[in-house]
Amino acid sequence: MAAETILSRLESLKQWSDFSEGYSSTEAQLNACMLNSDGLVYTAAQMTELTGECWKLAAQLYLLCRLQRQVQ
């Protein structure tokens, strides 16, 4: 039950920073990204937002892997 609560909170976590108030979902964030011709983001704000989202998704993945390990 604790893991379900943590996963639910991670999924609903809305990140924000001094640069931006954040986005309602990962999809909305990715749709808002503007890339240059090299495929890189233009601003420090976008880099901060994407880095935060990566950490959030990594935490979800880690939790799911730990749960799977406990099941086996």
Per-residue pLDDT of the chain (72 residues; tens, 9 = 90+): 777 888 888 888 887 777 778 888 888 888 988 899 998 898 888 888 888 889 989 998 998 898 877 766
User: What distance separates the 2 farthest-apart alpha carbons in the chain?
Assistant: 46
Task: Give which of 55, 36, 34 is closest to 45, Cα–Cα.
Answer: 34
The domain spans of the chain are 2-71
**pTM score, whole prediction:** 0.74
d(CA 38, CA 13): 30
